[in-house]
Amino acid sequence: YDLRNEDLKELQELGQGNGGSVKKVEHTPSGKIMAKKIVLIDAKPSVRKQILRELQIMHDCHSDYIISFYGAFLADPNICICMEYMDKGSLDGIYKKIGPIDIDIVGKVALAVLEGLTYLYDVHRIIHRDIKPSNILCNSSGQIKICDFGVSGELINSIADTFVGTSTYMSPERIQGAPYTVKSDVWSLGISLIELALGRFPFSDSSSDSDLSDDPEGTLSPRRPPSVGPGLSLSSVVNGGARTAKKTSKKDKRKSKGVSLQGGGMTMSILELLQHIVNEPAPRLTPEGRFPREAEEFVDACLFKDPEVRWTPKDLLKHKWIDRARTETIDLEAWTSTF
C-alpha cells in the first residue's frame, strides 16, 4: 500500500496509550480496513526520517503470531503506523469485559506469544520490550497476535524522552537498570498470563499485604496497572526512593495507601510497586490447585527473579504446558464469538 493520510478515513477510536492513540480506519482507494497508530514524536526531522526507515523492517515480519504491517508515514508532528486491524481487540479489554480467561485459552495465548517472540528474535534479532495484555490482540477468526514491538531504536529513544512507558510488567533486572534481553519479555509474559487467568493485575495490596487489604476477597478488582507518569525516571525512582521507602512502617503505608499517580483505582503507588517487584517474591498462579500443575510450573519458569535461571522463549516452547496447549482442541473462533 502507498499510504497517505488523506486516503485514510477514520471510523472509530480503538484506544489510547502512553504514546498516542489508535484508530480504526478505511484505506479508501483499496477498501482495506486498518488500525492506524498515531504517535506524537518530539524529534528533529532527521530523527523522524530515521525512525521511518527503521520501521520498514516491519515489512519483513511475516508470522501468524505477529500483526501485519501496512506502512508508516510522517504527518507532522506525528508518525502514523498502519497495521492489521484485529476486530476483537486486546486481551486486557477482553478480560475486563468477560472476566478471568479460561486457563486452556491462556495456554493458547502463551503459545502464540512464545511463537511470536521466537520468530522476532530468531529471524530479526528483535526483542519485543512491551509484552502486556494490551499488546496481545485477537480477531474473530480466533487468531492471537502480538503488536507494538521495539523495531526502531530511535522511536524507543524519542518516546522515552517524553515519557516513561507503562512499567509494571517490567522485570526486576530491568527496573534495576540492566539492559533488555529476551528474558525480560518472558517475565512480562508471566505477569500477563497471571493477569488473564485471575482477571486482575497480579500486584496489588490484597495479594501482597493481606493485613493491609480492605478487599481480601479481591472483589474490587480488576485493578488498573499503574504507569509511570511524565518526567519520572524509573531508575531515579527506584534507586533514589528505595531506601527511604523501605523504612516506611506498615502504619505509614496504610496512610499512603490509595495515593495514586494516575488515579483509576490504583492501590499501590508506582514506587511501592517497583520496590515490590524488586524486593518481594514473584507472583504465582494461585490459589494452589485452582489451575493445572503444568500451568503453575510454566508461570514459575517465566517469573524466576534471577534472569540467569529464568527460562528463554525457546525453552518454554518445550514446556509440558505448551505441549498441552498445542494439542488442546479448544475452538478459539467459537470462543471469540462469545463477546
Residue nearest to ligand ADP (CB): 17
Q: Decide if 240 contacts 233 (C-beta within 8 A).
A: no
Q: In which residue are the cell numbers 508508516 written?
A: 72
Residue 65 touching ligand ADP (CB under 6 A):
no
Residue 195 touching ligand ADP (CB under 6 A):
no
Which of residues 71, 113, 148, 335 is near ligand ADP by CB under 6 A? Answer: 148
Nearest alpha-carbon partner for 69 in 47, 37, 103: 37
Interacting residues of 152 by C-beta distance below 8 A, sequence separation 6+: 51, 54, 55, 57
Q: How many residues does the chain have?
A: 339
Write down the least CB distance from residue 146 to Mg ion, Å. Answer: 10
Residue 154 touching Mg ion (CB under 5 A):
no
Which of residues 35, 51, 103, 117 is near ligand ADP by CB under 6 A? Answer: 35
For 319, what's the count of Cα atoms within 13 Å in the CB-facing half-sphere? 26
Which residues in the 261-300 window bind ligand ADP by CB under 6 A?
none
Write down the least CB distance from residue 17 to Mg ion, Å. Answer: 5
37 is in an annotated binding site: yes
Q: Which residues are catalytic?
A: 130
Nearest alpha-carbon partner for 115 in 337, 313, 262, 301: 313
Q: Which is nearer to Mg ion, 85 or 321 (CB)?
A: 85
Interacting residues of 166 by C-beta distance below 8 A, sequence separation 6+: 17, 18, 130, 132, 225, 227, 228
Binding letters toward ligand ADP, positions 91-130, x by CB under 6 A: --x-------------------------------------
Q: How many residues bind ligand ADP (CB under 6 A)?
A: 22
Which of residues 83, 111, 127, 301 is near ligand ADP by CB under 6 A? Answer: 83
Residue 135 touching Mg ion (CB under 5 A):
yes
| Rounded distance between C-alpha atoms, residue 339 and residue 94, angstroms | 8
Sign of CA dihedral 46, 166, 264, 102: positive
195: which 3 cell numbers?
493477569
Binding-site residue set for ATP:
37
Q: Which residues bind Mg ion (CB under 5 A)?
A: 135, 148
Q: Which residues bind ligand ADP (CB under 6 A)?
A: 14-18, 20, 22, 35, 67, 83-86, 89-90, 93, 134-135, 137, 147-148, 166
Binding-site residue set:
37
